[in-house]
C-alpha cells in the first residue's frame, strides 16, 4: 500500500494482491523479512506504465500538431471520487496499522525506551510523508518524461498539497529532534544544531545540485534519442517490407489497372491497420476474423469489402463457422453480383452475433437457386444450421443482395 509493491507483484504473478500482502505480513512476523523484501522490491521494481499508447499514426499526427489530443473532457468524477476514496482509505489503514504495531511493541516491552518513543514516532511519520511525496512526484515525472528541476523531484506537480505534506513532514522531524534534545537536557543546543544542519543541507545542495540536474537532463535526452532511433528503425523496416515491395509490384503490373488497384487497396489496408488500428487480434475475436476474411476476399477477387463492426467477442468454434459462411457470402457477391463494393456489418449484442453481407449488385432469384449455386445452399445456409445458427437471404434486381447470418453465442 505504501508504494504499490504488493499490487505490482500481484499483477505480475496474476494472483490477488491480498494474497501477496498476507505473505508479506507473514514473513514480517517471522523475522521481519517481509519489510526487507518490500523495501528491496520498491527500489527494484519497474514503475507501471498505465498510459495508453497511441497508434503510430495518431501519435505522429499529435506530434505534428495536426490534431489536438483530446483529454477526456467530460466528467470523470465518479472514477476520480473512487480513486480519492481508495487513497484516503489506504492512508487511514496505514496509520491504523502503524499505530497498532507501535502500541503492540510498547506493550510487549520490546519497544524503545519511553524517552525515545515519541521523538521516533514524530521523525518516522515526517520521513514517511516526505518519502511518499517524493515517490509519487517521481512517478508523475517518469510518466510524463519531462525534465524537471531538482526541486521538482521532491515537489513534483502536487502543488500546494505536496508543499503542505512536506512542510508537515519537516515540522514533525524538527519536533522530534527538539523533543529528543529537550529530554536529554540539552535545549540550549537546539539552535546551534539546527543552524548547522541547515548549513550542511544548503552546502550539499549547492555542490551537488547542478551536477545532479545535468545528470538527469542528460539521461532524459539520451533515453529520448534512443527511443527515436528505434522508432526510425522500425519505421524503415516496415516501409521496406510493405510499401516498397508493393510499389515495385505496381510498377511491374502498370499495364493491368485492375491489378494495380488491387495492390494499392491491399497496401492501403495494411498501412491503415499498422498506423491506426488497435492490436492485431485477428485470430481471437469475431470482428478480427471477419475483417481478415473480408481482406482475403478483397485480395483474391478485387472487389472492395467495407467491414463495420459493433461490439466484439471471442471466437468460438461455431462463430468460426459463421465467419466462414460470411466469407462464402462475400465471395458469392464478389463473383456473381457485379457490384463494385461489398458492405459487411458485424454486430455482437449481448448473447447474439449477427453478420450482414450486402451488395448492390444485380441480385438473383433466391427460391430458384440452381444446383450450380451450391455455395449458398451448403456453405452458407447448411453450415449455419449445422452450428445452430440461421441464414436468410434477400435479393432483388433493384436493391441487390443481402445475406443475414445470426447465431447465439
Binding site for other proteins (CB under 8 A): 52, 55, 57-58, 61, 64-68, 70, 72-76, 78-79, 272, 275-279, 306, 308-312, 343, 345, 347, 349, 356, 358, 399, 402
Indicate if the alpha-carbon torsion angle 149, 150, 155, 160 is positive or negative: negative
Q: Closer CB to other proteins, residue 214 or residue 394?
A: 394
Helix (H) or strand (E) holding 404: strand 400-408
Q: With beta carbons less than 8 A apart as the criterion, state whether 4 and 50 touch.
A: no
Query: DSSP for 173-202?
Result: HHHHHHHHHHHTT-TTHHHHHHHHHHHHHH
Q: Closer CB to other proteins, residue 61 or residue 292?
A: 61
Instruction: Supply the minimum distance, in Å, between the C-beta of residue 370 and other proteins.
Output: 27
Closest by CA to 381, choosing from 342, 332, 317, 312, is: 332
Instruction: Supply the minimum distance, in Å, between the C-beta of residue 191 and other proteins.
Output: 55
Instruction: Supply the minimum distance, in Å, between the C-beta of residue 347 and other proteins.
Output: 7
Q: With beta carbons less than 8 A apart as the criterion, state whether 127 and 171 touch.
A: no
Instruction: Supply the minimum distance, in Å, between the C-beta of residue 70 and other proteins.
Output: 5
**How many CB atoms lie under 10 A from the CB of residue 48?**
12
Q: Closer CB to other proteins, residue 12 or residue 63?
A: 63
Beta 342-349 vs 305-310: how paired, if at all? parallel
Q: Closer CB to other proteins, residue 67 or residue 217?
A: 67
Q: Closer CB to other proteins, residue 64 or residue 109?
A: 64
Sheet holding 352-359, edge to edge: 305-310, 342-349, 352-359, 400-408, 390-396
Instruction: Supply the minimum distance, in Å, between the C-beta of residue 4 and other proteins.
Output: 21
Q: Closer CB to other proteins, residue 278 or residue 367?
A: 278
Residues 13-25, buried b or exposed e (16+ Cβ, 10 A)?
eeeebeebbeebe
Q: Which residues contact 36 (CB under 8 A, 6 or more apart)?
A: none
Provide the grid cell at 354.
Answer: 449477427
Q: Closer CB to other proteins, residue 65 or residue 257?
A: 65
Q: Which residues contact 326 (CB under 8 A, 6 or more apart)?
A: 290, 293, 344, 355, 357, 403, 405
Length of the chain: 409
Instruction: Supply the minimum distance, in Å, between the C-beta of residue 404 and other proteins.
Output: 9
Instruction: Supply the minimum distance, in Å, between the C-beta of residue 36 and other proteins.
Output: 36
Instruction: Supply the minimum distance, in Å, between the C-beta of residue 239 and other proteins.
Output: 17
Q: Closer CB to other proteins, residue 143 or residue 187?
A: 143
Q: Closer CB to other proteins, residue 155 or residue 402?
A: 402
Cα separation of 258 and 349, whole Å?
38
Q: List the alpha helices (DSSP H) in 302-395.
A: 317-332, 374, 383-386
Helix (H) or strand (E) holding 229: helix 189-238
CA 166 to chain centre: 32
Cα separation of 285 and 317, whole Å?
11
Instruction: Supply the minimum distance, in Å, between the C-beta of residue 13 and other proteins.
Output: 21
Instruction: Supply the minimum distance, in Å, between the C-beta of residue 244 and other proteins.
Output: 20
Q: Closer CB to other proteins, residue 130 or residue 346?
A: 346
Instruction: Supply the minimum distance, in Å, between the C-beta of residue 8 and other proteins.
Output: 19
Q: Closer CB to other proteins, residue 162 or residue 285?
A: 285
Amino acid at each position: 500500500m505504501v508504494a504499490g509493491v504488493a499490487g505490482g507483484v500481484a499483477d505480475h504473478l496474476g494472483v490477488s494482491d491480498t494474497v501477496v500482502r498476507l505473505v508479506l505480513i507473514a514473513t514480517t512476523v517471522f523475522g521481519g523479512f517481509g519489510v526487507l523484501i518490500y523495501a528491496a522490491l520498491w527500489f527494484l521494481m519497474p514503475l507501471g506504465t498505465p498510459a495508453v499508447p497511441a497508434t503510430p499514426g495518431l501519435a505522429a499526427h499529435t506530434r505534428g500538431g495536426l490534431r489536438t489530443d483530446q483529454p477526456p473532457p467530460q466528467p470523470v468524477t465518479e472514477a476520480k471520487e473512487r480513486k480519492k476514496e481508495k487513497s484516503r482509505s489506504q492512508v487511514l489503514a496505514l496509520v491504523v496499522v502503524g499505530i497498532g504495531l507501535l502500541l503492540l511493541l510498547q506493550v510487549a516491552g520490546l519497544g524503545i525506551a519511553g524517552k525515545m518513543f515519541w521523538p521516533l514516532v514524530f521523525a518516522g511519520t515526517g520521513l514517511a510523508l516526505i518519502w511518499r511525496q517524493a515517490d509519487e512526484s517521481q512517478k508523475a515525472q517518469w510518466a510524463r518524461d519531462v525534465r524537471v528541476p531538482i526541486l521538482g523531484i521532491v515537489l513534483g506537480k502536487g502543488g500546494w498539497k505536496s508543499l503542505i505534506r512536506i512542510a508537515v513532514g519537516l515540522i514533525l522531524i524538527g519536533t522530534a529532534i527538539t523533543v529528543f534534545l529537550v529530554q536529554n537536557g540539552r535545549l540550549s543546543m537546539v539552535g546551534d544544531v539546527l543552524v548547522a544542519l541547515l548549513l550542511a543541507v544548503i552546502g550539499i545542495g549547492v555542490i551537488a545540485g547542478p551536477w545532479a540536474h545535468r545528470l538527469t537532463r542528460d539521461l532524459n535526452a539520451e533515453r529520448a534519442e534512443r527511443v527515436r532511433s528505434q522508432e526510425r528503425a522500425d519505421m524503415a523496416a516496415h516501409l521496406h517490407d510493405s510499401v516498397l515491395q508493393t510499389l515495385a509490384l505496381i510498377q511491374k503490373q502498370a499495364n493491368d489497372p485492375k491489378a494495380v488497384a488491387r495492390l494499392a487497396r491491399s497496401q492501403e489496408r495494411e498501412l491503415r491497420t499498422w498506423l491506426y488500428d488497435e492490436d492485431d487480434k485477428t485470430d481471437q475475436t469475431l470482428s478480427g476474423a471477419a475483417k481478415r476474411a473480408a481482406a482475403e476476399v478483397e485480395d483474391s477477387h478485387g472487389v472492395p469489402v467495407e467491414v463495420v463492426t459493433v461490439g466484439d467477442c471471442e471466437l468460438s468454434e461455431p462463430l468460426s463457422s459463421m465467419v466462414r459462411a460470411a466469407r462464402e457470402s462475400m465471395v458469392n457477391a464478389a463473383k456473381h453480383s457485379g457490384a463494385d463494393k461489398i458492405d459487411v456489418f458485424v454486430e455482437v449484442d449481448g448473447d447474439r452475433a449477427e453478420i450482414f453481407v450486402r451488395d448492390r449488385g444485380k441480385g438473383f432469384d433466391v427460391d430458384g437457386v440452381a444446383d450450380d449455386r451450391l455455395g449458398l445452399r451448403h456453405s452458407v445456409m447448411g453450415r449455419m444450421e449445422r452450428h445452430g445458427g440461421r441464414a436468410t437471404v434477400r435479393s432483388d434486381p433493384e436493391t441487390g443482395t443481402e445475406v443475414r447470418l445470426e447465431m447465439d453465442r
